[in-house]
Structure 1
Amino acid sequence: MAWDEWEQLKAKAAQNQSARMQLNHVTPDNGGGESTRGDLTVHQEDLSAIGSAAHELRQDFSRFSDHARMSSIKAAGGLKTEGFDIGAALDHVAERWVDQVQSLLDACAHISNHLRYTENQHAADESYIAGTLSSISQLDQGFDERKGS
């Protein structure tokens, strides 16, 4: 590599350096005047509605899926009695159905319980914060009284 070629490469690298990407920085404005930083907002009504829907889905699906399972088992038994090999296959499907139903029921219960816990925890946090702020307000009032304000 010749000296001139080396100097050209260094100059080109220096020019490109100003346009490189920075990964440790978020631009303060995304061009639309809105901040690129978002805040998580949780409303108790939303948590309660989702938790209730999950609980209701669990109750309804448990009841209706049992009807499907029982019908499948009855049909499988009838087919096996008549000598059809598909009866054993249907019985196998009914067994797998039970496993899948249980997975869905567990997931619904988990969602419902977690949202109920989250709702209760947020209420406890709100109460704690209100109590803390109230205490600070009372302290300030006491200092103001002592100063004669």
Structure 2
Amino acid sequence: MAWDEWEQLKSEAAGQRSTRMQLNQYPADQGGDGTQGDLVAGHQDLEAVGKAAHDLFEDFTTFSGHARVASEAAAGGLKGEGFALGGALEHVTEHWSKQTKTLLDACAHISNHLRFTKNQHAADDSYISGSVSSIALLDEGFDDRKGH
């Protein structure tokens, strides 16, 4: 993209949108009795992200392992025959292994964080439900003492 094209796109975007703050929010008219509902942690989109991260972790572990083993064997063979390319391939393989570990750690972190978040939300929902139930029980006790 050329600089002039970038500047044109920026000016078009600025002309389409005024500089004001816009807050994203839950739509006001949702029907029903007006309550927001229970805290739900099992959103399909989050579950899909977690599954994709887990699947990538599993598949990449397998396939990157094959690539690493084949590259190490090729590097060893080339070095054994006196080719300088063997050392270079060995260097690339070492970096490949480091980058693989970084990607796998990121995938595991995403998957684990989403699982933790789901469990934490379920625990929060249970706590809130218990607290609200306790308040209702206390209210009943006060009502009974007043003779209602």
Fold agreement, TM-score > 0.5: yes
Number of corresponding residues: 118
Q: How does 1:68-83 map to 2 (within 5 A)?
A: 68-83=67-82
Cα gap change, 1:95/1:51 in structure 2, threshold over 3 Å: closer, same or farther?
Answer: same
Q: 1:42 to 1:89 in 2, by over 3 A?
A: farther
Deviation at residue 37 of structure 1 after TM alignment: 4.2
Q: Is the 8 A contact 1:69 1:98 kept in 2?
A: yes
Corresponding residue of 1:20: none
TM-score (norm: length of structure 1): 0.67
The aligned runs of 1:83-102 (5 Å cut-off) are: 83-102=82-101
- Please name the residue that 2:43 is paired with: 45
Give aligned-pair identity as a percent.
59
Tell me, which stretches of 5 or more residues in structure 2 are unaligned? 1-19, 27-38
| Distance in 2 (alpha carbons) for counterparts of 1:135 and 1:117 | 27
Amino acid at match of 1:44: G
| Cα distance in 2, alignment partners of residues 56 and 68 from structure 1 | 18
SS at match of 1:44: coil
Shift of the 42–133 alpha-carbon distance from structure 1 to 2, 3 Å rule, reads: closer
- Measured after TM superposition, the shift of residue 42 of structure 1 is 6.5
For residue 129 of structure 1, report the CA deviation from its aligned partner: 0.2
Change (3 A) 1:121 1:79: same
Q: CA deviation at 1:59?
A: 1.8
1:1-149 alignment to 2 at 5 Å?
A: 36-38=23-25, 43-46=41-44, 47-149=46-148
Q: Which runs of 4+ in 1 moved over 3 A?
A: 45-49
